[in-house]
Amino acid sequence: MKTQPSSLFQATLVKEALRSSFIKLNPVTLFRNPVMFTVALGTVVMLVVSLYSLTRHDQGTFGYNFLVFWVLFFTLLFANFAEAIAEARGKAQADSLRKTREETPAKLVQTSDEIQLVSSAQLKKGDVFICEAGDTIPSDGEIIEGLATIDESAITGESAPVIREAGGDKSSVTGGTKVLSDKIKVIVTTQPGESFLDKMIALVEGASRQKSPNEIALTILLASFTLIFVIVCVSLKPFADYAHTPITIAAFISLFVCLIPTTIGGLLSAIGIAGMDRALRANVITKSGKAVETAGDIDVLLLDKTGTITIGNRKATNFYPTQGVAPERFVQAMLLSSLADETPEGKSIIELAQSQGLSIPKLPVGVEWIKFTAETRSSGVNMPNGLRVRKGAVDAMRQMSVKAGFVFPEDMTQYATNIASNGGTPLIVTENEVVLGIIELQDIIKVGIQERFERLRKMGVKTVMVTGDNPLTAKYIAHKAGVDDFIAEAKPEDKMNYIKAEQANGKLVAMMGDGTNDAPALAQADVGVAMNSGTAAAKEAGNMVDLDNDPTKLIEIVEIGKQLLMTRGTLTTFSIANDVAKYFAIVPALFISSIPGLQGLNIMRLHSPESAILSAVIFNALIIPALIPLALKGVAYKPIGASALLRRNLLVYGLGGILIPFIGIKLLDIVVGMFF
Amino acid sequence: MNTEIAGIAFTYFLTVILAIPLGKYIAKVYAGEKTFLDSVLGPVENLFFRWSGIAYKQEMNWKQHLQALLTINVWWFGWAMFVLMNQGWLPWNPDQNPSMSPDLAFNTAISFLVNCNLQHYSGETGMSYLGQIACLMFLQFVTAGTGMAACAVVFNAMKARTTDKLGNFYNYFVKSCTRILLPLSFVLAIILLWEGTPMNVAGKASITTLQGDTVQVSRGPVAAMVAIKQLGTNGGGFFGVNSAHPLENPSYLSNILECASIVLIPIAMIFALGYYLQRKRLAYIVFGVMTVGFLLFVVPSVYLEMQGNPALTQMGIEQNLGSMEGKETRFGAASSAFWAVATTVTSNGSVNAMHDSLTPLTGMFALLGMMINALYGGVGVGFLNFYVFMIIAVFIAGLMVGRTPEFLGKKIEAREMKIASIIALLHPLLILAGTALASFVYVGHPDLPWLNNPSFHGFSEMLYEYTSSAANNGSGFEGLGDNTPFWNISTGIVLILSRYLPIIGPIAIAGILANKKFVPESAGTLKTDTATFGLMVFAVIFIVAALAFFPALTLGPLAEYFTHK
């Protein structure tokens, strides 16, 4: 699932795209694109002219006219093909995702709690179904009861099973994934055909695809260029009459088609679809083309520390009992406090304890496990004998201890500061509210993350690390990882406030989140990426869903957005720059027979007027398929600063756009010149 | 160095050196800061505002600005029509020149109202002194002031903040006239007086020549009008032959000053932009792009005119003074070529030589200057045209760096692109449609007495007439029988459309952008004050604006050049 065929043109896709290139000749479809619509009109006119030239000879030979007709027809087909192949690729990608969730039996829970076996297609929003070990989950939904390990490899490609349970931020399940153990009760959250994936497929397919604001603005610009050339070509008729220079209809239409920006006009929608497709290939489902575009504009990136900047989780690396407490006693307490702690941190504490020669004790009946909550910021155990063991954040534990009337040991404050300033996280362990000692958890910063942040900085994106750590630890890690700013001891509303503050300064903010309490911030952010494992509320609030649940994905999304816009810009530049050569090919050809002096303008020394015009239109047609790979793959984004990027792209696509047609038209003329 | 070339180099550098402090001063005027003229002109302006009841401190949004601008223009039109149609019996008419016919008055009023000064009359016989002063000279001041005020609104809107309050139109307008145009005109007129330009209200003087003939020499308040026609990119001369007339432009010194005056304020406005926004680099880039374009026209034009006419060379006629047909010997070929380009890149349109007699390619450069109409350009409006090209360039360049385009911290979206596209479209539309219509009519009626030079040159003449109208330039290729209802009406329509829409468009774009959220720059933002972006604007101007005229130019000057090479 993760490894996609890298070839741009798979045989099956090409076949499908070829078919729909013809279907897209429908004038209603063509009308959506003003540039190509005018080409279509020109093609029709040329067909009429070709037929006319069978009997009369004032418009040139039939062969010449007919050839121009075919070239224009192919120009249209090529443009359609570009859009069709982009659609086909997107659809193929989406289909392979969809395949995982087709027609699976669902154990529907009836009102009277009896279970009925129905097909997944019959599930409606609000229905409740049950999944047991070995079942494939029939639809997207939210767990309302139970806990299960789930194999999500069908969607994410990640083989390690994940735990999903009711009530928390990990309550969401995706259709097509498989329950490995336990039993869950799930409520269906989407109507059939309205899941994110369905929406995505609809976006890729023509009908419901809305043009993004930037695409609309560009279309306006291209339409106005087209209009300018309508004026240029129409006014040329009386000019030529004045100069007693008859111009054939074929020459008029060729000049027109060559001058209007057909290259970008033909590739514009393909570029947009390819952008969404690239996102999908990165396993990100976008809810609109606009979201991808906005991603390219992001100024501020909010990144969760855990999983993004640091490898998964912190590890307990050291412990320091307070003065007067024996290390053995402390290790014992540390082990007890973590026995029920399923988090990787908890497990690492147990590992640390085991390395000190302790084994996991058999526990008496009546043990009460105290779960971590955001309020207490501690967890632990209450033994039947009344012993209360807790571990938690320093300030929370200090409060608890002081409240109970004890003095917080001086050396613990010192240790905590030392640990924090080294980027570690201190955890205090207490027994009956008496501080016993401190555990040092260390973060391990991901390899290569500094380079990525450097890259983002060059793109002009500010990175902000969001962490529950205390400010000292946060600062250390932020500094070490190279992020620009951090939010320490972050509560969900802190994210929201940060986003609002940045937005008030006109910045665009992107963030990733999974929990229900992330939902408001996800909705507030300009680009909110919800993890697929996140709650339905989070997924509803964001405008993208990441199937991999990979927090570093945001960086990729920003680049995809930038690529999309850049591809549009560079191909527009290329298309317009092409006009210079085309003018010099066609304009002398129009007048040369009656004004021989204009041979001086024929700087390419093209063979004959017919050959010059044919070479120009053929070049104009061929450049579209030649650029399809670029349109689909996108122009490579290099974070070298805006000015350097502009210089580079102007050189490649601007100067290249001026020079390439000179060469191409000349080469074509050598061939075409043999016949005309 | 050749003294002729030294002369034009001096003229150009003098202009730029004067334009820098002037730009700083203009920026201060629009920012409402203290200037040295406050004590003299402050009370005068206050008196004026009190009399007219204008609350000049009340801020306007862009729509109110346009409303004020257009309303006041309607009043001026009424006033101009009244004076022109009644000047015969009104005072100050020593030569007994008649009142204008309604259609001529209409044409004249419109053409002066839009800062074009396409003159279908000859000053000596067609205007009274009252008409010259109270109508034409008045309009030369206020229309230049209108353009500058419009530009000031756009400057204000380009500031780094979010607002819909863009200053007061009347305040900008009055100060453009009193603080900038009036003092400069005063100084220039005084120098011209010294050089021998008349300034009186006496009728024709009778002079007996050496041959014993008697000639009637027209006089009048010439110096004052010449000053504002040069400085305000108006171009409408006191006499029929404009600055080729020895009394309008008596000496080489007066020629230098008048020529410098053509581009002085347009260049100063660019520097003013830099000082006003405190974005000097942006101003340098704008200035650089304009200058490169200007030099691309000036250098070959001067060269070609100094080379002489190849047709005459082929006949064995020596032309070591260059092509002197239609030029004044006291100015020479180089200085006339320089003037020809200066007057066409700006929308000035005053002439010191016959443009019909320029060699074909120089004629083409003059045409191109007006077709682009944004290289320095008319006072105020030149920058407005350039602004539209910048918006288009920003849009494409912004995409190329991977962001939705933004200009000076404001996002450019569909609505702004729509307006920019219409304005960019309008200019070629008016020129090409007009010329196409004329060609069509002429082909149908070859007996029409329009063209003294049929063939390619005749086509250039028609093209020039519409280009000059659309650029609000006002110069003529001449040689075209343009005093007919067809030309009066069709150019009149072109004049109105091409004046007001290119003012409305940029103000609307700037106003909409000013109201948008301000986005501070980041490393990923496209910088508009770099040479690379300058190159981008330059490419947009030449590929989009200039190349659209390539087929038309091929049939006119290019065909003429290649055929007679």
CA distance B138 to A514: 70
**Apex B363 CA angle, B359 and B364, nearest 5:** 120
Annotated active-site residue A113? The verdict is no
Measured in whole angstroms, the distance separating CA A593 from the mean position of its chain's CA atoms is 55
**pLDDT of residue B70 exceeding 80:** yes
The answer to whether the CB of A452 falls within 8 A of the CB of A634 is: no
Q: Write out the two tokens for A234.
A: 């129409």
- When mean pLDDT is compared across A163-177, A661-675, B197-211, the lowest value belongs to A163-177
Residue B242 — φ and ψ, nearest 5°? 60, -140
For residue B396, the chain A residue with the least C-alpha distance is A569
pLDDT digits (tens, 9 = 90+) for B112-137: 999 988 888 888 888 999 999 999 99
**pLDDT of residue A120 exceeding 80:** no
User: How many domains, in total, are found in chain B?
Assistant: 1
- When mean pLDDT is compared across B272-286, B306-320, B371-385, the lowest value belongs to B306-320
Site from B281, B394, B404 to mutate, A interface, most A CB atoms within 10 angstroms? B404
The answer to whether the CB of A27 falls within 8 A of the CB of A40 is: yes
Interval B447-468 mean pLDDT? 88
% of chain B residues with pLDDT over 90: 70
For A501, the enclosing helix (H) or strand (E) is: helix A492-504
When pLDDT is cut at 50, 70 and 90, the band that residue A203 belongs to is: low
When pLDDT is cut at 50, 70 and 90, the band that residue A155 belongs to is: low
For residue A582, the chain B residue with the least C-alpha distance is B547
CA dihedral B32, B34, B40, B44 (to 10 degrees): 20
Q: What is the pLDDT of residue A101?
A: 57
Expressed as residue numbers, the domain containing B175 is 2-564
Write the DSSP assignment of A159-213 as a string of letters: -S-EEEESSSTT-EE-TT-EEEESEEEEEE-S-TT-SHHHHHHHHHSSTTPPPPH
Identity at B477, one-letter amino acid code: F
Indicate the DSSP class of residue A122.
G
Give the minimum alpha-carbon distance from A654 to chain B in angstroms, rounded to a whole number: 9
What number of CA atoms fall less than 13 Å from residue A647's CA on the CB side?
10
The answer to whether the CB of A634 falls within 8 A of the CB of A552 is: no
Residue B226 — φ and ψ, nearest 5°? -60, -40
Cβ–Cβ contact B311 with A under 8 A: no
Cβ–Cβ contact B523 with A under 8 A: yes
Give the minimum alpha-carbon distance from B399 to chain A in angstroms, rounded to a whole number: 4
Q: What is the pLDDT of residue A206?
A: 57
Residue (of A177, A233, A289, A221) closest to A41 by Cα position: A233
Catalytic residue among A127, A135, A297, A304: A304
Give the minimum alpha-carbon distance from B346 to chain A in angstroms, rounded to a whole number: 23
**Contact criterion met (CB < 8 Å) for A646 and B532:** yes
**Apex B283 CA angle, B281 and B287, nearest 5:** 115
**pLDDT of residue A309 exceeding 60:** yes
Instruction: Count interface pairs A-B at CB distance under 8 A.
Output: 218
Identity at A260, one-letter amino acid code: I
Kind of pairing, strands A183-188 and A141-151? antiparallel
- When mean pLDDT is compared across A261-265, A287-291, A623-627, B142-146, the lowest value belongs to A287-291
Residue numbers in A near B505 (CB within 8 A): none
Of B400, B418, B548, the CB nearest to A646: B400
Identity at A540, one-letter amino acid code: E
What number of CA atoms fall less than 13 Å from residue A672's CA on the CB side?
25
Cβ–Cβ contact B448 with A under 8 A: no
pTM of the model: 0.86
**pLDDT of residue A247 exceeding 70:** yes
CA distance A366 to A369: 10
Interval A527-553 mean pLDDT? 80
Of A229, A570, A587, the CB nearest to B400: A570
**Contact criterion met (CB < 8 Å) for B559 and A598:** yes
CA distance A58 to A40: 24
Interval A229-245 mean pLDDT? 92
Between the alpha carbon of residue A16 and those of residues A85, A280, A350, A649, B538, the distances in Å are 8, 20, 58, 33, 43
Cβ–Cβ contact B160 with A under 8 A: no
Residue numbers in A near B163 (CB within 8 A): none
**pLDDT of residue B182 exceeding 50:** yes
| ipTM of this complex | 0.91
Give the minimum alpha-carbon distance from A499 to chain B in angstroms, rounded to a whole number: 15
**Contact criterion met (CB < 8 Å) for A569 and B400:** yes
**Contact criterion met (CB < 8 Å) for B563 and A595:** yes
Residue numbers in B near A236 (CB within 8 A): 551-552
% of chain A residues with pLDDT over 70: 93
**Contact criterion met (CB < 8 Å) for B443 and A570:** no
Residue numbers in A near B554 (CB within 8 A): 587-588, 591, 598, 601
Give the minimum alpha-carbon distance from A243 to chain B in angstroms, rounded to a whole number: 7
Q: Show Cβ contacts of residue A540 under 8 Å, excluding neighbours closer than 6 positions.
A: A519
Of A243, A462, A583, the CB nearest to B550: A583
When pLDDT is cut at 50, 70 and 90, the band that residue A4 belongs to is: very low
pLDDT digits (tens, 9 = 90+) for A498-519: 999 988 888 889 988 776 677 8
**Contact criterion met (CB < 8 Å) for A566 and B400:** yes
CA distance B502 to B50: 32
When pLDDT is cut at 50, 70 and 90, the band that residue A208 belongs to is: low
